[in-house]
Amino acid sequence: MIILILLGEIIFYIIALLLLIPASVFFVECMAALLPRRQAPLASQVPRPKTTVIVPAHNEATVIPACLGSVQPHLGERDRLVVVADNCEDDTAEVARRCGAVVVERHDPKRRGKGYALDYGLRFVATDPPDVLVVLDADCIVQERLLEEIASLAFSSGRPVQAAYVLQPPQHPEPRALISAFAFVMKNVIRPSGLTRLGLPCFLTGTGMAFPWSVLDGVSLASSKTAEDMRLAVNLALAGHPPMFDARSCVTGCLPQQERIAKNQRTLWEHGHLDTLLKDAPRLFKAAACQRSSALLAMGFDLCVPPISLLVLLWTIAISATVLWAAITAVWGPAALVAGAGLLVCLGVIASWVSFGRSTVPLSALVNVPAYVALKIPLYLAFLVSRRTEWAFREREKVDR
């Protein structure tokens, strides 16, 4: 009996520590985002590099004019705007041409995915290589000076640069949509800002990315994986080019209004994130130990933070189990550690909301957080039995129409 209790105590301590690590990383990132911003060189202080903007597009005829229209006024004389019309069944290519973009069309039904489209565009651009390559999604709008800021920063630093990527909630949003938009801000703006304040690299988020051409030259982006941006960040960091975050520049998109599309998007994003966590975090930790690199170590810990909803769900399960164990055995150590992890997550969320989300997410909406987390339980269970880490364009085409 004593052996069983000792074994159980060890198991619960391990569970508590496994939860405390991502909770601590999350807390540190959120708190660091409140520190004064580090000064980065202004675009006006750096010679404007020759820039090519590449926009992968799959059946995006209805939204791509707004994206290209937001980019065109900010192109320099030596800049190019290239659209990769990838396996399109609508008139995306013709619409993009009318908007003044250079259009290349790709038709390969067996190899679908944003990674394949980017790789095709990269090989096209290689015939007249720029100094900097900027990647934008076709359903995004760039804010003024974004192109100049991230291109100049990437050129001067020699590192990939990620702009702030924010999703706006739809008109007349439900509380769940507001919570989702705020969770997106925490992942794509607040936490990377904290890492930047600490002088550490960040992950890429898929759009608003700038790459020095020397970094991408010879790199293959061909992939059907949904989290190709996170994997690209890992590969670049391992090659000695960790991405950096620029909070001064912003690209915006919109959360889907239809719940079915939103659910499909969340599933692809979060399954891709978890798959990357399981496969690439060990690579980062191993490389960090071999190279004695604090940047790789920080990226490894950052990757170990699961989506915030899953973190809350795991904490709920852990605190219930450890409290029950303590009630039976009077061993409260694991429960205290798990409670501390929950406190860190709560403090991080509250500080982020007070500083960044109070103006857009009313306090009343936060009451719906438990329901928001509960609705995601099937999504995480599906990851265990039928994870989705490949782009599924056919389903998306049908929904979008």
Do 352 and 31 touch, CB atoms closer than 8 A? no
Query: Considering the chain, what is the average pLDDT of its residues?
Result: 89
Residue with tokens 């909770």: 23
**pLDDT score for 216:** 86
For residue 252, the SS3 value is strand
| Residue 1 to residue 12: CA distance in whole angstroms | 16
What's the token pair of residue 354? 């007070």
45 — pLDDT class (breaks 50, 70, 90): low
Average pLDDT over residues 270-283: 92
43 — pLDDT class (breaks 50, 70, 90): low
**pLDDT score for 263:** 80
Q: Where are the domains of the chain?
A: 7-35+139-401
Q: Which of 234, 18, 216 is nearest to 132 (CA)?
A: 216
Question: In which order are the strands placed within the sheet that holds 51-57?
Answer: 102-106, 80-86, 51-57, 132-135, 209-212, 161-168, 244-254, 141-142
**pLDDT score for 132:** 96
pLDDT at residue 252 is higher than 60 = yes
**pLDDT score for 40:** 59
pLDDT at residue 397 is higher than 70 = no
pLDDT tens for residues 71-81?
Answer: 999 999 999 99
| Residue 361 to residue 399: CA distance in whole angstroms | 28
Lowest mean pLDDT among 81-85, 148-152, 174-178, 387-391: 387-391
pLDDT tens for residues 96-134?
Answer: 999 999 999 999 988 888 889 999 999 999 999 999 999
**pLDDT score for 57:** 94
| Residue 22 to residue 17: CA distance in whole angstroms | 9
| Residue 271 to residue 264: CA distance in whole angstroms | 11
Q: For residue 80, what are the β-bridge partners?
A: 52
pTM of the model: 0.90
**pLDDT score for 257:** 75
What's the token pair of residue 119? 């790789």
pLDDT tens for residues 302-340?
Answer: 999 999 999 999 999 999 999 999 998 888 999 999 999
| Residue 225 to residue 112: CA distance in whole angstroms | 9
pLDDT at residue 208 is higher than 80 = yes
pLDDT tens for residues 156-185?
Answer: 999 999 999 999 887 778 888 889 889 999
| Residue 53 to residue 150: CA distance in whole angstroms | 12
Share of the chain above pLDDT 70, in %: 93
pLDDT at residue 368 is higher than 60 = yes
pLDDT at residue 287 is higher than 90 = yes
* First-to-last C-alpha distance (Å) of the chain: 62
pLDDT at residue 398 is higher than 70 = no
**pLDDT score for 389:** 65
Task: Identify the H or E element spanning 247.
Answer: strand 244-254
Share of the chain above pLDDT 90, in %: 66
